[in-house]
Amino acid sequence: MALKFEITKEEFEALEEGRQALYSEHGDGYRLQVEGIDPADELKEALRKEREERAEAKRKLQEFESEAEKRERERLEKQQEWEKLSKTERERAEKLDKELAELRDKVANSERTATAEGIVAGLIDKEATGGVQRYGLLKKEAMQFIAHTPEGVKINGPDGEAWDAKQLGKYLTEQYPFLVDGSKASGGGAPGGKGGGAVTKKFSEHTGAELKALKEQDPEAYKRLRDEHHQQR
């Protein structure tokens, strides 16, 4: 019967004494004593194999990590490209929205201005004396009552009610008769200087803006109105 190179303690005890002499203790068991075989060589071989296995495991791990890093890098690059593209598109959309809003404001203001000019043109002849200045002042006052809504131009009277162009024209004539042409002013009365309309309100009934406009357009009417006011005090 062939002898095993390594045996357990139980197997050793079951051997004949002659065969037991061929073995020596090794760890928890026994090893056959053979000339030319160095136990250290076996240990070295085992260590070599272990190192090779570790090196192979490390190489595979590095390959896996390298591949994982590559995939992650590609993912991040794609994400960055997408974010860059998204940012560009957002900026372009914001720019277009801004330009559209500006265009809407321009159109709205243009329509408001056209409405005001249409009303004031029926009250003041720009070719008359001081017509251009009076036209500009009354147009500015008219613009305060004209708004632009999604439905179009809307005129809001001082009472908060919706007005038409005729109502606003009548209101402007009554409030600023010194700006309106004499032939177009309501309420009659003596015509003001420099082609202006009749001044029908008392000095104290005029606002600061009205008095300033009257002084610039019709100094004589302004002086007369002021003097009358002082005489009544």
Tokens of 73: 């890098």
Compute the distance between CA of residue 183 and CA of residue 135 in angstroms, rounded to an integer.
15
Out of 152-166, 197-211, 217-231, least confident range:
197-211
pLDDT at 34 exceeding the cut of 80: no
Compute the distance between CA of residue 116 and CA of residue 148 in angstroms, rounded to an integer.
12
Average pLDDT over residues 151-170: 89
pLDDT, one tens digit per residue, over 111-150 is: 989 998 889 988 888 887 788 888 899 999 999 999 988 8
Compute the distance between CA of residue 153 and CA of residue 83 in angstroms, rounded to an integer.
43
Positive/negative CA dihedral, 112, 117, 118, 123: positive
Question: Coil, strand, or helix at residue 229?
Answer: helix
Compute the distance between CA of residue 59 and CA of residue 191 in angstroms, rounded to an integer.
107
What is the identity of the amino acid at 66? S
Whether residue 171 contacts residue 160, with contact meaning beta carbons closer than 8 Å, is answered with: no
Out of 41-45, 90-94, 99-103, 186-190, least confident range:
186-190
pLDDT, one tens digit per residue, over 49-102 is: 888 888 888 888 888 888 888 888 888 888 888 888 778 888 888 888 888 888
pLDDT at 42 exceeding the cut of 50: yes
Beta bridge partners of 156: 162
Whether residue 142 contacts residue 120, with contact meaning beta carbons closer than 8 Å, is answered with: yes
| CA angle (178 as vertex; 173, 183 as ends), nearest 5 | 65
pLDDT at 199 exceeding the cut of 80: no
Compute the distance between CA of residue 163 and CA of residue 147 in angstroms, rounded to an integer.
11
